[in-house]
Structure 1
Amino acid sequence: MKLIIQIPCFNEAQTLSVALSALPRAVPGFASVEWLIIDDGSQDDTVEVARAHGVDHIVRHSGNKGLAKAFMTGLEASLRLGADVIVNTDADNQYNADDIPALTLPIIQHQAEIVVGARPIGVIEHFSPVKKMLQKLGSWVVRIASNTDIPDAPSGFRAISRAAAQRLMVFNDYTYTLETIIQAGQKNMSIVSVPIRVNEDLRPSRLVKSIPSYIKRSIVTIIRIFMIYRPFSFFATIGAVLFSAGLLIGLRFVWHYLHGNGDGYVQSLILASIMLGMGFQTLLVAFLADLMAANRKLLEDIRFKTANLPQNQDPAVVKNDSELTFVTVDKKTRDNL
């Protein structure tokens, strides 16, 4: 079996060497362990640092596409390079690489398809109280939306089986962590969590540029999660609230009208009409959104089946949307493909 450890990078020259120095070259259960770097349009010496530390494969974006895009590019490249299991970790050495065997063990033992490393968030000193609260809130939302029991959903330290990686598709441009867990739950993939350790903070988080920005992005991400993966419940709830409010206001007008005071409550009648109309239209949107979600699932199934068809394509070239992304493969690795 082949394990590929992938690291999305954007201007990580200062910390990447530390992260790479800690990565293993041998993991129990795997005949080979290879390293893959996704250079997301870095403008520093990230690629040079990766090559100097013996990275096997480098995928390069022509510009900065974001963490979620880099993650998906890494999965696609790893699959084409023949990975049986893919481990994703960060370039800032946040996660303890010594826990990779524990992360991959449930997959080797056929107990899970995806394994998420659970950090001891409560005792991490460089996490602010607001960030800890939002981490817990995000994990709770994911558990509700996915029917899974993952205590640290925002964790990027995770192991993914080949079959699971082929079925994942991230729509969010900001981060992949929450969405992939929800997809796993909806696709009935077996997903578990294992406790992991963390290292000292080497640099501020790239995703948390400021607390207000992090709160805003987190709220938007959570709303999008429900809109994409629970569309009927999301829109039907809004529609029911609007329709019920309009109905109550309308009944209030009828009560006053029957008691001879209708002329003074015409505004209530207008407001009730507007809210009833908005509620009814939102309920219709709920049904349409549910149909679109069903179509999306069918398209995902078609994508998965198409991806498993035999392909006569050089694994050193990965087509990524409208651009070509090149994977540099050393001669020894290419001969073994």
Structure 2
Amino acid sequence: MTKLIIQIPCYNEEATLGMTLAELPRQIPGIDQVEWLIVNDGSSDRTVEVALANGVDHVVSFARNQGLAHAFMAGLEACLKAGADIIVNTDADNQYCAADIPRLVEPILQGEADIVVGARPIRQIKHFSPIKKLLQGFGSWVVRLASKTNVVDAPSGFRAISREAALRLNVFNEYTYTLETIIQAGRQGMAIKSVPIRTNGYLRPSRLVKSIPSYVKRSLLTILRISMTYKPLRFFAVLGSIPFSMGFLLGVRWLVLFFLENGTRSRAPSLILAAILILIGFQLWMFGLVADLMAVNRKVLEDIQLRLRRAELNSNQKER
């Protein structure tokens, strides 16, 4: 029997949650059982009451607001414990068209993907400003490079995740999960696919994107951090090559001038700067080597965590 659980992270969503839940399906082709779960991320309004009144099967609550990334991961954990074979994540503001959920889960049912990300028609969304549309496209392109995947709409929160993929995912960033999970999944060799989906009307401003500059800064920091985590040697090798190359070229320039002028001018400042730059580059390379060795321990810990998660889930299933 295949069980699908639709999870919705919520923070003060009483105004839109009822509308979102009303459109969620209870029957999907290829799925035997569909359940709903919300993660109440420290809401101070009637979010939980609205959810229960509309037939939500599971509620996970935080005493205080923990942020979208924590809510997403808590939802995955709760869905796995509830026996989900496939997890669909959507937003509480009814941004995504729930009728496209069958399209979202189809590649997983067919064994073609571990994670499926819904690609919004960005250019057709009227409330997105031209600069936001441009940045969405640029951000997705950067994530494709970092993750080595073909994800069209990286910031999209409308996605389906197989049980195996959910077991392997970890989110370190406290801001959002969207970019990090794609890069992480791509680095771990998971199959990721994009499918076109529709969006509904605009109901409220995004709580995640409070300002374009802030979102861009946070997104870039997330990409850099994940790159350092999963490819530390390459990251620091590239970073260290910049000052090392500058120092090397400056040193060559010093040597050329020294011999052309027969040592009449010492040009000590140039020589000192060249030495400093070369030393900085070398130190960054050493950081990369140490980080790469530490990454081996991280991989071992991830394998241990995966085995523990599987053992816990198998234990829960036997108890049932």
Q: Same fold (TM over 0.5)?
A: yes
Structure 1 spans left out of the alignment, 5+ residues: 316-335
Q: Which amino acid aligns with 1:110?
A: G
Distance in 2, Cα, partners of 1:142 & 1:173? 18
What residue is the counterpart of 1:330 in the other structure? none
What residue is the counterpart of 2:290 in the other structure? 288
Q: Which amino acid aligns with 2:304?
A: I
Secondary structure, in 3 states, of the residue corresponding to 1:139? helix
Distance in 2, Cα, partners of 1:100 & 1:294? 38
Tell me, yes or no, if the aligned pair for 1:107 and 1:114 is still in contact at 8 Å. yes
Distance in 2, Cα, partners of 1:158 & 1:140? 18
Distance in 1, Cα, partners of 2:128 & 2:246? 41
What residue is the counterpart of 2:38 in the other structure? 37
Distance in 1, Cα, partners of 2:59 & 2:127? 31
Equivalent runs, 1:153-302 vs 2, <5 Å: 153-258=154-259, 259-260=261-262, 263=265, 265-302=267-304
Deviations 1:149-194 (A, max 9, x none): 1111111101111111101111111111111112221222121111
Q: Which amino acid aligns with 2:146?
A: A
Distance in 2, Cα, partners of 1:293 & 1:118? 32
Report the CA distance between 1:86 and its aligned residue: 0.4
Tell me, yes or no, if the aligned pair for 1:134 and 1:218 is still in contact at 8 Å. no
Distance in 1, Cα, partners of 2:8 & 2:142? 26
Report the CA distance between 1:251 and its aligned residue: 1.5
What residue is the counterpart of 1:325 in the other structure? none
Report the CA distance between 1:113 and its aligned residue: 1.4
Percent pairwise identity:
60
Distance in 1, Cα, partners of 2:158 & 2:247? 48
Distance in 2, Cα, partners of 1:262 & 1:291? 47
Secondary structure, in 3 states, of the residue corresponding to 1:133? helix
Equivalent runs, 1:1-337 vs 2, <5 Å: 1-258=2-259, 259-260=261-262, 263=265, 265-310=267-312, 337=320
Structure 2 spans left out of the alignment, 5+ residues: none
Distance in 2, Cα, partners of 1:169 & 1:135? 24
- Higher mean C-alpha displacement, 77-86 vs 260-269: 260-269
Tell me, yes or no, if the aligned pair for 2:37 and 2:57 is still in contact at 8 Å. yes
Distance in 2, Cα, partners of 1:145 & 1:218? 12
Report the CA distance between 1:213 and its aligned residue: 1.6
Sort the Cα spacing of 1:108 and 1:153 in 2 relative to 1 into closer, same or farther, 3 A: same
Secondary structure, in 3 states, of the residue corresponding to 1:200? coil
Q: Which runs of 4+ in 1 moved over 3 A?
A: 260-264, 310-315
Secondary structure, in 3 states, of the residue corresponding to 1:8? strand
Deviations 1:292-337 (A, max 9, x none): 223212211111111111569779xxxxxxxxxxxxxxxxxxxx95
Distance in 2, Cα, partners of 1:69 & 1:250? 49
- Higher mean C-alpha displacement, 63-72 vs 290-299: 290-299
User: TM-score normalised to the size of structure 1?
Assistant: 0.90
Distance in 1, Cα, partners of 2:181 & 2:57? 26
Number of residues of Structure 1 aligned to a counterpart in Structure 2: 317
Sort the Cα spacing of 1:147 and 1:262 in 2 relative to 1 into closer, same or farther, 3 A: farther
Distance in 2, Cα, partners of 1:147 & 1:210? 28
Distance in 2, Cα, partners of 1:311 & 1:101? 26
Distance in 2, Cα, partners of 1:45 & 1:261? 80
Distance in 2, Cα, partners of 1:230 & 1:132? 29
What's the C-alpha RMSD, in Å, of the aligned pairs?
1.8
Report the CA distance between 1:226 and its aligned residue: 2.0
Report the CA distance between 1:263 and its aligned residue: 3.3
Secondary structure, in 3 states, of the residue corresponding to 1:112? coil
Q: Which amino acid aligns with 1:174?
A: Y
